[in-house]
């Protein structure tokens, strides 16, 4: 087949020592910035951009792409060990990852995250290799009504994220929607819920909310007890720091589910890895034989979102390379880089610069192997962090959180907001409000409102646009199912209880 | 929802009331914005609906906690624990407030000292060592090695 | 939700350059901070870093210049930061049109251009209106005619209400009596995707963003928003040539300083940028990115701010936006 010829040619490019070197540099840098909360791949790529003029473009793009997908490997580390989401897309990894760490299984969780990342990263690149042109067309068919349906499906995941109280989960989600609505309304230039403060005109940064509610809330709860010793158990011996065969077997479906869902959502320019990871987690829980164990530290709960956010990288490159439409924020910067290097991103890139495109794709296969080899040995090393006594570990998390937030905007206002959300996260834990629904509402709030309003503008106010298009209609049906099925289950449970 | 028993009822009632208040605030604000404009839903459309949902659900939460009252005795709140958590937060807030004046190095160092010495009741020597080590470590890692900007105080660092 | 972006200000460390003695009585003596309200990697940030680079290469400054990203608040965070730095001659900032327009319509945007010191205007970005290649609209007039025949059915992929594309639509609808919908998408990828997917009919773009789509024939330019035809598009009429008498609302970029800096400092910065815009590197940058040279000195630019604000007030009133200042 023609594609394999191209791919072989690409490997010819990627396997040269200099390009292997750039691939390694990218993967390594990516892992590092992925571990640090706040600093993301987009900014790193932007800062390194001027330096890439001295390199040949293929080598440069191999390195920059390495930063992009490498960051996704690193992002899970702090999520699992410290409950600090390293990247926005690893918030969901906190849910079960941190619980695993708390039960002394931090090492296995890190290992599963690395393996899930590898499998999904590779499957994502395979998807990119084989399906780029047809999928790019699919991405274009997606418009506001389809996005609305997808976002509604995402919001319906709240059903699956709810802990003991469904009402509290919904309330948390509504607060998330409210927080997401802060700032200037694109459609009317009205400012909403800014309390007269110019600092809130652009809304609240995701990092501030996620780190505040997840990381600081957790730390404050831990500080309730003055126990000064080691907080989390870390078993001795290398074997206990790596996932067991049973763990991997349990995760089989999660790897596949995450890879496919993450890839497809990654292709869409208006949705991202964070949404993908929420949806994958929801699907995983819905089909699981023991859904009640999710959120208490099951390996699938780590594998699914980690897989989703890694195969997203391959997906995001589909519209970027095939159409010249950035598949995500980071991709927009990468596209700008193409232009600076004298390449012409757009529908002709595959034909004009096959060496460049196929060299990049081939390098991603190699990069994923490098990342696995780089990350697995780090697992036992990172797991040692948990051996720190709590009077060192928890203050350290405060420090990392402050640095992570400040580095995003250099604004002390944001650090104040962080402290505020930390208090909110603490109260939520004390009062048994789950944190994930709030984050879900916050991530999706903007898109769900926007896509609904866009749809109705397109149809001149006719609501039928949402159900008359096959793609959006089928997703809305799925959404309804997600909402209705648990009600039946609950009703059944009550009946059984009453009968028993 | 049937599992609501055994939880701190008072917390549900208070948080429900606060959220109902927030919902009312959202509704009031949303009423000030256009609900349906010539081009479709206005800026007030979405907030109005989630505001209404918030009021409804929070009232439901309050109602449920009254219904479930007495079913099982609620767990008593350990106020000493809460006091610990809140004083750690107060320390954080103070630290954030001091960042502008003292800068990250000093402000964070003092905060760590407070946490180790007061919250964790470690010996003074440990507290000094941890706070100095932590502040210096952060300084070496972020501004020096990674060239990240940290809050700078009036003393110039 | 705010887009993510990060600061690595100090990451670009420039070599110190020997001190140059200046006649005007002011020369920077310590590193200069170059503020931008956009995050790392966004348009304004890229330009700021490019300018800092040219300054260094051409040895225009005796000290190094580093970029500081003060993001948030639709430019207000950066503006407030400058006000806080009143009298500081070692801080300058890049601005764009939203620094002028946001205070007009947002009550929270309390800092205006009047609170800052005008230095120089640097460039104007022209625009192109594009359609998908299989669109029935061969010319912009075709589009307008259809929008008159069936008001409200045609759609424009837009940036945001209050943006340049929105303002132009308001002006054109007023002038021609046509009517079409303006659907905002926050990022370029979605705007372009909606057009290419056939969900919207027209889109206003920067020439540089979509040059390749036009070359590949997936997009077609039907009219250009520029005073004169841009070199890459000699056969496409300008708005005026197509018969539409609307002002070219430019996307403008220039430099301002904190309030209360001495006149010598203003003169110094004017001089530095006057030299910069004559460098071959800058000319090439303008040409590569299909930008117009919009150089103006401080006094001229102050007048421009007032005129621009006045034009915007008119458009906003027409478009139904409440003006707060």
Identify the bridge partners of residue C183 per DSSP, sorted by sequence position: C157
Alpha-carbon distance A351 to nearest alpha carbon in chain B (angstroms): 39
pLDDT at B29 over 80: yes
Least confident of A107-121, A375-389, C301-315: A375-389
Beta bridge mates, A183: A192
Q: SS3 of C169, please?
A: helix
With CA atoms as reference, report the closest residue to C178 among C203, C156, C206: C156
State how far the Cα of A301 lies from the Cα of A161, in Å rounded to an integer: 11
Angle, to 10 degrees, between the axis of helix A166-180 and the axis of helix A436-458?
60
Q: Measured between CA atoms, how close is A234 to chain B, in angstroms?
A: 21
Whole-angstrom distance, CA of residue A266 vs CA of residue A138: 12
d(CA B1, CA A493): 12
CA distances (Å), origin B53, targets A138, A193, C111? 35, 18, 37
Higher pLDDT, A300 or C25: A300
Residues with Cβ within 8 Å of C105's Cβ and at least 6 positions away in sequence, in order, are A189, C162, C316, C321, C322, C323, C324
Question: Does residue C133 share a domain with residue C117?
Answer: no
Looking at beta carbons, which residues of chain B come within 8 Å of A416? 96
CB-nearest to A457 from C8, C181, C193 is C181
Pairing mode, strands C202-205 and C127-132: antiparallel
C94 and C145 fall within a common domain:
no
In this prediction, residue B71 carries a pLDDT of 56
CB atoms within 10 A of CB A450: 24
Q: Residue C14: is its pLDDT beyond 80? A: no
Say yes or no to pLDDT of C3 above 60: no
- A-B interface: how many C-beta pairs under 8 angstroms? 178
C321 phi, psi to nearest 5 deg: -100, 135
Judged against a pLDDT cut of 50, whether residue C5 lies above it is answered with: no
The answer as to whether C142 is a domain residue is yes
Could you tell me which chain A residue has the CA closest to the CA of C41?
A46
Contacts of C26 (CB under 8 A, 6+ apart): C89, C262, C264, C265, C267, C268
Domain that holds residue A128: 2-499
Task: Assess whether C120 and C146 both reside in one domain.
Answer: no
Of residues A195 and C211, the one with the higher pLDDT is A195
Q: Identify the chains in contact with A, defined as 3+ C-beta pairs within 8 A.
A: B, C
In a domain, C236, yes or no: no
Q: Residue A141 is nearest to which of C3, C105, C197, comparing CB atoms?
A: C197
Q: B 16-45 residues with CB below 8 A of A?
A: 19, 22-23, 26, 29, 33-34, 37, 39-43, 45
Strand B36-37 and strand B40-41: the pairing is antiparallel
**Residue contacts between B and C (CB atoms, under 8 Å):** 12
CB-side exposure of A50: number of CA atoms within 13 Å? 17
Using alpha carbons only, give the angle C269, C272, C278 rounded to the nearest 5 degrees: 140
Does B148 lie at the interface with C, CB-CB under 8 angstroms?
Answer: yes
pLDDT recorded at residue C238:
94
Global ipTM: 0.91
Nearest CA in chain B to C152: B39
Q: Point out the residue among A42, A319, A325 whose CB comes nearest to the CB of C4.
A: A42
Contact A110, A77 (CB under 8 A): yes
CA dist., res. C8 & res. A101, Å (int)? 32
CB A380 within 8 A of CB A226: no
CA nearest A403: which of A37, A142, A35, A143? A37
3-state secondary structure of B72: coil
* pLDDT tens for each residue of B41-89: 899 999 999 999 999 999 999 998 888 765 555 566 788 889 999 999 9
Q: Furthest-apart CA pair in chain A: how many Å?
A: 76
SS3 state of residue C109:
coil
pLDDT interval class at C220 (50, 70, 90): very high
End-to-end C-alpha distance for chain B, whole angstroms: 53
Mean pLDDT in residue range A210-224:
91
Which domain does C44 fall in, by range?
A: 9-125+251-319
| Mean pLDDT for all residues in chain A | 89
CATH (domain of C292): 3.40.190.150
Same domain, C141 and C38: no
pLDDT of residue A199: 87
Residue C280, SS3?
helix
Do the chains contact at C6 and A141, CB–CB below 8 Å? no
User: Would residue C315 count as lying in a domain?
Assistant: yes
- Distance CA(B77)–CA(B61), nearest Å, equals 19
Identify the CATH number of the domain in which residue C197 sits: 3.40.190.10
Q: Are strands A191-192 and A183-184 parallel, antiparallel or unpaired?
A: antiparallel
C131 and C108 within one domain = no
pLDDT higher for C211 or C97? C97
How many Å apart are CA C196 and CA C157, to the nearest integer? 10
Q: State the pLDDT at residue B150.
A: 86
The predicted structure's pLDDT at residue C44: 85
Same domain, C17 and C64: yes
Q: What is the pLDDT of residue C162?
A: 85
| Same structural domain, C119 and C260 | yes
Least confident of A95-99, A217-221, C208-212: C208-212
More reliable by pLDDT, C201 or A341: C201
Which of C 208-267 lie inside 8 A of A, CB atoms?
A: 208, 211-213, 215-216, 218
Render pLDDT for A396-433 as a digit per residue (tens, 0 to 9).
999 999 998 888 778 889 999 999 999 999 999 999 99
Provide the shortest C-alpha distance from residue C229 to chain B (in Å): 34
- Residue C182 contacts B where some CB pair is shorter than 8 Å: yes
Q: In angstroms, how far is CA A277 from the centroid of its own chain?
A: 5
Check whether residue C267 and residue C195 sit in a common domain.
no
Q: What is the distance between the alpha carbons of residues B130 and A390, in angstroms, rounded to a whole number? A: 12
Quote the pLDDT of residue C201.
96
Supply the pLDDT for residue C210: 78
At residue C8 the predicted structure's pLDDT band, cuts being 50, 70 and 90, is very low
Domain total for chain C? 2
Cβ-based contacts of A440 with chain B (< 8 Å) = none
Q: Report how many domains make up chain A.
A: 1
Tell me how close the Cα of C143 comes to any Cα of chain B, in angstroms: 20
pLDDT of C226 higher than 60 = yes
Q: Is A78 exposed, middle or buried (0-12, 13-18, 19+ CB in 10 A)?
A: buried
Angle at C124 between CA C121 and CA C126, to 5 degrees: 175
Residues C63 and C79 reside in one and the same domain: yes
Closest Cα to residue A435, out of A451, A452, A422?
A422
Note whether residue C308 is domain-resident.
Answer: yes
Q: pTM for the complete prediction? A: 0.88
Q: How far apart are CA B104 and CA C43, in angstroms?
A: 30
Structural domain includes residue C243: no
**pLDDT grade for C319, boundaries at 50, 70 and 90:** confident
Q: Does a structural domain hold residue C234?
A: no
Task: Read off the pLDDT of residues C26-62 as tens digits, 9 standing for 90 and up.
Answer: 899 999 999 999 877 677 888 898 899 899 889 999 9
Q: Which residue in chain C has the smallest CA separation from B142?
A: C8
The C-alpha atoms of residue A44 and residue A28 are separated, in whole angstroms, by 12
Give yes or no for a contact between C12 and C52, defined as CB atoms under 8 angstroms apart: yes
Return the partners of chain B (3 or more C-beta pairs < 8 Å): A, C
Give the pLDDT band of residue A438 (cuts 50, 70, 90).
very high
Q: Which of A187, A399, A452 sits opposite B134 (nearest CB)?
A: A399
Instruction: Indicate if the pLDDT at residue A205 is higher than 50.
Output: yes
User: Residue C209: is its pLDDT beyond 80?
Assistant: no
The pLDDT of residue A364: 95
pLDDT in tens, A20-52: 999 999 999 999 888 887 777 887 887 787 778
Report CA A497 to chain centroid distance, whole Å: 39
Per-residue model confidence (pLDDT) at position B2: 39
Rg (CA), chain B: 24
Question: What is the nearest CA distance from B133 to chain A, expressed in angstroms?
Answer: 10
Give the separation between CA C56 and CA C94, rounded to whole angstroms.
Answer: 17
If asked whether residues C133 and C118 sit together in one domain, one would say no
Is the pLDDT assigned to residue B1 strictly greater than 50? no
The answer to whether the Cα torsion of A197, A202, A203, A206 is positive or negative is negative
Of all residues in chain C, the percent with pLDDT exceeding 70 is: 92
- The 3-state secondary structure of chain A reads CHHHHHHHHHHHHHCCHHHHHHHHHHHHHHHHHHHCCCCCHHHHHHHHHHHHHHCCHHHHHHHHHHHHHHHHHHHHHHHHHHCCCCCHHHHHHHHHHHHHHHCCCHHHHHHHHHHHHHHHHHHHHHHHHHHHHHHHHHHHHCCHHHHHHHHHHHHHCHHHHCCCCHHHHHHHHHHHHHHHCCEECCCCCCEECCCCCHHHCCCCEHHHHHHHHHHHHHHHHHCCCCCCCECCCCCCCHHHHCCCHHHHHHCHHHHHHHHHHHHHHHHCCCCCHHHHHHHHHHHHHHHCCCHHHCCCCCHHHHHHHHHHHHHHHHHHHHHHHHHCCCCCHHHHHHHHHHHHCCCCCCCCHHHHCHHHHHHHHHHHHHHHHHHHHHHCCHHHHHHHHHHCEHHHHHHHHHHHHHHHHHHHHCCHHHHHHHHHHHHHHHHHHHCCCCCHHHHHHHHHHHHHHHHHHHHHHHCCCCCCHHHHCHHHHHHHHHHHHHHHHHHHHHHHHHHHHHHC
Residue C7 above 50 pLDDT? no
Q: Is C239 inside any structural domain?
A: no
C324 located within any domain: no
User: What residues of chain C lie within 8 A of the CB of B149, using their CB?
Assistant: 7, 9-10
Average pLDDT over residues C256-284: 94
* Residue B78 with chain A: CB contacts under 8 Å: 224
Query: Distance from CA of residue B20 to its chain's centroid?
Result: 19
More confident position, C208 or B106: B106
Nearby residues of A78 by Cβ (< 8 Å), 6 or more positions away: A35, A36, A37, A84, A85, A86, A400
Q: Between the ranges A97-106, C38-47, C64-73, C181-190, where is the mean pLDDT highest?
A: A97-106
DSSP B82-123: HHHHHHHHHHHHHHHHHHHHHHHHHHHHHHHHHIIIIIS---
Contact between C251 and C164 under an 8 Å Cβ cutoff? The reply is yes
pLDDT computed for residue C13 by the predictor: 30
- Rounded CA-CA distance A59/B26 in Å is 52
């Amino acid at each position: 087949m023609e594609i394999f010829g191209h791919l072989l040619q690409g490997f010819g490019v990627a396997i040269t020592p200099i390009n292997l070197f750039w691939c390694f540099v990218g993967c390594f840098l990516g892992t590092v910035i992925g571990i640090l909360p706040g600093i993301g791949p987009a900014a790193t790529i932007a800062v390194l951009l001027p330096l890439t003029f001295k390199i040949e473009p293929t080598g440069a793009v191999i390195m920059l792409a390495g930063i992009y997908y490498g960051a996704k490997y690193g992002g899970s580390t702090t999520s699992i060990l410290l409950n600090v989401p390293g990247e926005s897309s690893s918030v969901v990894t906190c849910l079960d990852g941190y619980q695993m760490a708390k039960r002394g299984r931090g090492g296995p969780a890190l290992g599963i995250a690395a393996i899930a990342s590898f499998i999904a990263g590779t499957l994502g690149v395979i998807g990119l290799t084989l399906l780029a042109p047809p999928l790019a067309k699919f991405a274009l068919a997606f418009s506001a009504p389809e996005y609305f349906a997808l976002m509604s499906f995402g919001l319906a995941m709240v059903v699956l994220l709810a802990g003991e109280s469904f009402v509290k989960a919904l309330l948390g989600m509504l607060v998330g929607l409210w927080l997401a609505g802060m700032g200037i309304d694109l459609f009317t230039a009205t400012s909403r819920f800014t309390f007269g403060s110019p600092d809130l005109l652009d809304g609240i940064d995701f990092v501030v909310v996620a780190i505040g509610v997840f990381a600081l809330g957790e730390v404050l709860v831990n500080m309730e007890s003055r126990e000064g010793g080691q907080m989390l158990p870390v078993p001795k011996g290398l074997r206990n720091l790596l996932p067991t065969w049973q763990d991997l077997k349990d995760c089989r479906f999660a790897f596949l589910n995450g890879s496919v869902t993450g890839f497809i959502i990654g292709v869409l320019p208006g949705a991202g890895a964070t949404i993908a990871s929420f949806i994958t987690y929801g699907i995983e829980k819905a089909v699981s034989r023991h859904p009640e164990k999710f959120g208490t530290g099951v390996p699938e709960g780590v594998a699914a979102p980690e897989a989703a956010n890694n195969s997203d990288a391959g997906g995001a490159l589909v519209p970027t390379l095939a159409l010249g439409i950035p598949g995500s924020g980071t991709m927009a910067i990468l596209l700008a880089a193409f232009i600076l290097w004298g390449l012409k991103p757009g529908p002709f890139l595959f034909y004009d610069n096959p060496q460049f495109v196929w060299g990049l794709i081939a390098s991603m296969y190699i990069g994923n192997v490098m990342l696995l080899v780089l990350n697995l040995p780090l697992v036992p090393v990172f797991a040692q962090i948990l051996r720190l006594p709590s009077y060192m570990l928890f203050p350290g998390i405060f420090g990392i959180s402050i640095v992570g937030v400040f580095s995003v905007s250099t604004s002390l206002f944001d650090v104040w907001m962080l402290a505020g959300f930390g208090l909110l996260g603490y109260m939520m834990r004390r009062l048994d409000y789950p944190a994930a629904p709030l984050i879900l509402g916050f991530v999706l709030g903007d898109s769900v409102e926007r896509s609904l309003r866009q749809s109705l503008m397109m149809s001149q106010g006719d609501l039928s646009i949402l159900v008359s298009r096959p793609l959006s209609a089928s997703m809305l049906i799925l959404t309804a199912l997600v909402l209705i099925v648990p009600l039946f289950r609950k009703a059944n449970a009550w009946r059984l209880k009453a009968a028993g | 929802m049937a599992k609501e028993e055994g939880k701190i009822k008072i917390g549900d009632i208070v948080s429900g009331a606060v959220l109902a208040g927030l919902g009312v605030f959202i509704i009031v604000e949303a009423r000030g914005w256009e609900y349906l404009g010539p081009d479709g839903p206005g800026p007030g459309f979405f907030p109005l609906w989630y505001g209404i949902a918030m009021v409804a659900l929070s009232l439901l939460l309050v109602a449920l906690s009254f219904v479930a009252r007495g079913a099982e005795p609620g767990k008593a709140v350990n106020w000493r624990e809460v006091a610990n958590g809140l004083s750690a937060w107060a320390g954080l807030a103070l630290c954030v407030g001091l960042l502008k004046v003292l800068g990250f190095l000093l402000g964070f160092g003092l905060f760590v000292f407070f946490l180790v010495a007061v919250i964790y009741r470690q010996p003074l020597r440990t507290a000094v060592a941890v706070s100095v080590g932590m502040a210096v470590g952060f300084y070496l890692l972020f501004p020096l090695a990674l060239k990240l900007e940290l809050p700078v105080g009036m003393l110039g660092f | 939700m705010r887009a993510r972006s990060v600061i690595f200000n100090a990451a670009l460390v420039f070599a110190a350059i020997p001190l140059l003695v200046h006649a005007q009585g002011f020369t920077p003596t310590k590193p200069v901070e170059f503020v931008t309200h956009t995050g790392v990697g966004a348009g304004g940030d890229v330009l700021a870093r490019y300018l800092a680079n040219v300054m260094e290469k051409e040895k225009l400054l005796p000290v190094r210049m580093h970029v500081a990203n003060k993001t948030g608040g639709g430019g207000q965070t950066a503006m407030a930061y400058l006000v806080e730095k009143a009298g500081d001659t070692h801080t300058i900032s890049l601005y764009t049109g939203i620094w002028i327009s946001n205070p007009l319509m947002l009550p929270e945007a309390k800092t205006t251009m009047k609170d800052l010191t005008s230095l120089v205007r640097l460039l104007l970005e022209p625009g192109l209106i594009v359609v998908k290649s299989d669109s029935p609209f061969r010319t912009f007039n075709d589009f307008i005619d259809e929008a008159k025949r069936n008001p409200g059915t045609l759609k424009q992929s837009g940036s945001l209400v209050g943006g340049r594309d929105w303002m132009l639509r308001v002006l054109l609808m007023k002038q021609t009596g046509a009517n079409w919908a303006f659907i905002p998408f926050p990022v370029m990828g979605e705007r372009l995707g909606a057009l290419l997917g056939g969900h919207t009919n027209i889109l206003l773009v920067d020439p540089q963003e979509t040059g390749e789509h036009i070359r590949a024939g997936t997009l077609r330019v039907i009219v250009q928003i520029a005073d004169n035809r841009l070199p890459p598009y000699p056969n496409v009429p300008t708005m005026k040539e197509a018969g539409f008498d609307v002002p070219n609302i430019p996307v403008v970029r220039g430099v301002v300083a904190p309030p209360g800096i001495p006149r010598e400092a203003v003169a110094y910065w004017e001089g530095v940028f006057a030299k910069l815009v004559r460098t071959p590197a800058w000319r090439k940058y303008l040409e590569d990115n299909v930008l117009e040279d919009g150089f103006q000195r401080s006094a001229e630019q102050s007048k421009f701010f007032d005129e621009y604000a006045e034009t915007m007030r008119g458009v906003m009133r027409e478009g139904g936006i409440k003006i707060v200042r």
